[in-house]
């Protein structure tokens, strides 16, 4: 039966933007073997390419000292120090001079601005920022830092100049939030509120803007207005832990959160360009911005979570876990951090460790912890226990969200309780009629059972149209055509799915079956052999091995079998 989809972050290579790694397949050198500048350089480059920033920083700093400050080695050492989070050291090693590369020099100037700001040297930071050497791709980050640097230098009027960058909506939007905070800092409350109202106008203001304006209203003693903003945002996003925490604080009458300090405001300003770089798949630059943000404000839990995600993708599992451990109990981000931590153990193959962590979190009664446990239980095929947790979550919810019905429907279907599963999946689809995953899951289930075929095919086709870059969903449509005997069409779709998700064992297995049915038996055998190299689960592995051993191919299936 079709697998369910889980939002687990798979590790991917993090590309370092500042220089070229000499050999992508170099094994990390042991310290004893790296007894020359070049050996340490190679070892540092290999570690940096694999996301092991702290190890890379150690090797490359040694290589830099041995090489007599060779420009290439020095630039790599600078990059490694920054990626490892040692911003002050990176500032001292910032590339300069005619031999240094221009991209490294631009980033180096930005690092020196932040290092000075973190040291309370506002005038030094302003002089560095005014040197006009921070060009592409750091113009947005420099623009957003500008007003805070002016404030740090004592230039109050200069801090009110709203940053703008042609064609950059993020700079305009986050610059206005920053301007609001700086007006509040100068006790120009009316001007601050004008800005806050501007960024929260419309039917769906961002959570960031609502939290900022709500906190301002709390500080001004206007709690009922703050509560109204929080309530409106929670109706749109009822699962937001940050909004729930803000509302609870305002309702309790506890002290309002303080307005951001200069360092805190500057740290917040850097997260916007970091998010932009993540969206643009420029992970190395995003990681640099997040490290700079945390150098200014180490208490930013959202930045620690972003850092952990990037390090997990880079393959630095220990670094990711260190980041996920930063949010402490009671923080709005704590539950999300614990969930990410548990999933990191699951992704590393330590299923018992993942479940142990999730059970500990769920035992506190925390709703998010129980959700994480139910997800991990499903991932580890412990469906009955997952169903029990989801039953409780649905029963205690005044208005259960569609995701709870979807999750329980998946677990029920995997447990062989189809009628109950079908009811949950239909309830979820009624609540979320255009959700691609739901359309795919229920539509495929009907096709697999030979039920409601015309309606089901339409649902899967709609899912593909909604998410045409999902290999899993295209696989469902291809396999649906296979089950209906449309083998030529199945091959066409399954080849597309494999192009998108080449490492998925189930999709490759399906393609092998489709090749067999159209007479392409050599290609079928190749696909089944490939399946065995992709860490398939026991069921898929046994299926591929049987077909290869018997040389008979898959049985000829029809919908409903």
Are 164 and 143 in contact by the 8 Å Cβ rule? The answer is: yes
Give the other-Cβ count within 10 Å of 450's Cβ.
14
pTM, 2 dp: 0.79
In this predicted structure, what is the pLDDT of residue 40?
66
pLDDT tens-digit map of 412-423: 999 999 999 999
Domains 169-260 and 470-561 are alike in CATH topology = yes
Q: Is the dihedral of CA 423, 426, 431, 432 positive or negative?
A: positive
* Domain boundary assignment for the chain: 169-260, 470-561
Smallest CA-to-CA distance from 458 within 442, 475, 482 is with: 442
Q: Identify the CATH number of the domain defined by range 169-260.
A: 1.25.40
CA distance 446 to 62: 62
Contacts for 374 with CB less than 8 Å, ≥ 6 apart: 386, 389, 390, 393, 407, 411
Spans in the chain with pLDDT lower than 70: 1-35, 37-38, 40-51, 53, 56-69, 132-133, 557-561
Query: How many of the other CB atoms lie within 10 Å of CB of 465?
Result: 11
Task: Answer whether the bond into residue 137 is a cis peptide, omega within 30°.
Answer: yes
Please provide the DSSP assignment of 81-96 as one string. HHHTT-HHHHHHT---
The three-state secondary structure class of 400 is coil
Longest dimension (CA), the chain: 80
- Cβ neighbours, 10 Å, residue 461: 15
CA distances from 94 to 72, 142, 263 (A): 12, 16, 21
Query: Of 441, 463, 444, 461, which Cα lies nearest the Cα of 452?
Result: 444
Q: Would you state the pLDDT for residue 253?
A: 85
What fold characterizes domain 470-561? 1.25.40
What does the pLDDT read at residue 79? 85
H helical segments located in 166-261: 169-185, 189-199, 207-219, 223-236, 241-252
pLDDT at 49: 67
With DSSP H G I counted as helix, E B as strand and the rest as coil, what are the percentages for the chain, rounded to 5?
70, 0, 30
Q: Assess contact for 227 and 247: CB atoms under 8 A.
A: yes
């Amino acid at each position: 039966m079709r697998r369910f989809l889980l939002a687990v972050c798979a590790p991917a290579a993090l590309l370092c933007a500042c220089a070229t790694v000499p050999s992508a397949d170099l094994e990390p050198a042991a310290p004893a073997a790296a007894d020359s500048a070049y050996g340490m350089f190679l070892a540092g480059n290999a570690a940096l390419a694999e996301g092991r920033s702290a190890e890379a920083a150690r090797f490359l700093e040694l290589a830099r000292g041995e090489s007599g400050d060779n420009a290439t080695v020095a630039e790599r050492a600078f990059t490694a120090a920054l990626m490892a989070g040692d911003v002050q050291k990176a500032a001292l090693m910032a590339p300069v001079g005619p031999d240094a590369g221009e991209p490294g020099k631009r980033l180096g100037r930005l690092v020196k601005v932040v290092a000075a700001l973190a040291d309370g040297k506002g005038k030094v930071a302003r002089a560095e920022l005014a040197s006009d050497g921070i060009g592409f791709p750091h113009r947005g980050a420099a623009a957003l830092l500008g007003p805070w640097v002016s404030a740090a230098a004592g230039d109050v009027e200069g801090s009110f100049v709203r940053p703008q960058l042609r064609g950059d909506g993020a700079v305009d939007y986050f610059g206005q939030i920053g301007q609001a905070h700086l007006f509040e800092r100068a006790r120009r409350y009316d001007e601050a509120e004008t800005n806050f109202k501007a960024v929260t106008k419309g039917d769906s203001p961002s959570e960031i803007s609502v939290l900022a304006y709500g906190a301002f209203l709390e500080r001004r003693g206007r709690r009922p207005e703050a509560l109204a903003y929080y309530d409106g945002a929670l109706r749109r996003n009822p699962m937001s832990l940050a909004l729930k925490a803000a509302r609870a604080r305002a309702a309790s009458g506890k002290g309002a959160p303080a307005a951001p300090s200069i360092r805190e405001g500057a740290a917040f300003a850097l997260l916007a360009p970091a998010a932009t770089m993540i969206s643009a798949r420029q992970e190395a630059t995003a990681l640099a911005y997040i490290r700079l943000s945390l150098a200014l404000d180490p208490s930013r839990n959202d930045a620690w979570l972003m850092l952990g995600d990037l390090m997990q993708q880079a393959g630095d599992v220990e670094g990711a876990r260190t980041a996920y451990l930063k949010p402490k109990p009671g923080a709005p981000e704590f539950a999300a951090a614990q969930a990410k931590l548990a999933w990191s153990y699951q992704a590393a193959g330590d299923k018992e460790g993942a479940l142990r962590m999730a059970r500990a979190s769920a035992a506190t009664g925390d709703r998010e912890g129980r959700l994480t446990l139910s997800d991990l239980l499903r991932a580890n095929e412990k469906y009955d226990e997952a169903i029990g947790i989801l039953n409780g979550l649905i029963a205690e919810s005044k208005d259960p969200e569609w995701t709870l019905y979807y999750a329980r429907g998946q677990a029920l279907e995997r447990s062989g309780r189809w009628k109950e599963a079908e009811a949950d999946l239909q309830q979820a689809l009624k609540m979320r009629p255009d959700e691609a995953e739901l359309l795919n899951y229920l539509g495929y289930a009907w096709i697999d059972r030979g039920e409601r075929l015309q309606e089901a095919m339409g649902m899967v086709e709609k899912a593909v149209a909604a998410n045409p870059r999902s290999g899993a969903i295209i696989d469902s449509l291809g396999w649906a055509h296979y089950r209906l005997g449309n083998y030529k069409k199945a091959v066409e779709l399954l080849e597309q799915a494999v192009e998108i998700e080449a490492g998925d064992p189930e999709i490759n297995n399906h393609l092998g079956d489709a090749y067999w049915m159209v007479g392409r038996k050599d290609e079928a055998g190749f696909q089944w052999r490939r399946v065995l190299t992709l860490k398939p689960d026991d069921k898929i592995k046994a299926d591929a091995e049987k077909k290869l051993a018997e040389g008979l191919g898959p049985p000829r299936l029809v919908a409903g079998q």
